[in-house]
Amino acid sequence: MPCPALLLASLAALSPTQRLARDGFAVFDGVLSREQTAAVRETAEALRSGGAMRNLGQDGRDDEVLTVDLGMLRDPSYSGLMDAARVLAGMPGMLVESGRRDECAAETAAQFASASTPRLLMLARYPPSAGGYVPHLDNDAADPDHQRGPVGLRACDRVYTCILYLQSGWSEADDGRLRLHRPRGRAERGEAAAAAVEEEEEEGWAFAGRDYVDVEPVGGRLVVFDSRRMLHEVRPSFAPRWALTAWI
């Protein structure tokens, strides 16, 4: 699927390549409109009501999930997910194009180029009964199942995690924030980089000396982070928390 023009327009001034390279994550708002988000969520809720989602029974996580093959979007029961799926499927192309525009370093460009178009998406719903997910890496070399499965679908193949939130609304009391922990072993920044962090802190999306950043799961918001570097968790949710995720 091509990278959507809406996504590129929303990222044009945000330099996602620089943010991903520097901090290991980037946050973009308004990737889906309120109307698009509501339509995707309506489809998600219908799938759950029909019994398509299940809890995996894994310790440390409380979500119900459904794996969605992109080919399933031709089915009327799944076609309402298309707007969100198109955004996520377009992420590898967006990273490469944005990296060229930013004239990023060769190492960064190579990492962007190694991201692949996802074959599968994961729809997830956390329950409002303090449902969450303990801190973890999406690509963890210490995981015994790290290399298990078909090539391209293994945890070791994940380069970036892309999460698109589908909430109808969000308040402080709902919580369910995504907590991103500062990657270990980061070098101290020079004066120029520190100035960039100070500028970014005004937008709310930088570590800026903190050990973690909390990202609210606002509908239409996209979070992208390095699957190998970014330890992350889902804080307890007190409202149903919906998201669609791709690993690229």
52 part of a folded domain: yes
31 part of a folded domain: yes
Number of separate domains in the chain = 1
- Domain range for residue 10? 5-187+216-247
79 part of a folded domain: yes
What's the pLDDT tens digit per position in 154-203?
999 999 999 999 999 899 999 999 999 988 754 433 333 444 444 444 45
Mean pLDDT, range 30-52, rounded to an integer: 98
83 part of a folded domain: yes
The DSSP secondary structure of the chain, one letter per residue, reads: -PPPHHHHHHHTTT-HHHHHHHHSEEEE--SS-HHHHHHHHHHHHHHHHTT--EE---TTB--EEEEEEGGGGGSTTTGGGHHHHHHHHTHHHHHHHHHHHHT--HHHHHHHHH----SEEEEEEE-TTTEEEEEE-SS-TTSTTTT-SSTTTSGGG--EEEEEE--S---GGGB-PEEEEPPTTPPPP-HHHHHHHHHHHTTT-S-TT-SEEEE---TT-EEEEETTT--EEEEEESS-EEEEEEE-
208 part of a folded domain: no
197 part of a folded domain: no
CATH number for 89: 2.60.120.620
194 part of a folded domain: no
pTM to 2 decimals?
0.87
86 part of a folded domain: yes
pLDDT interval class at 18 (50, 70, 90):
confident
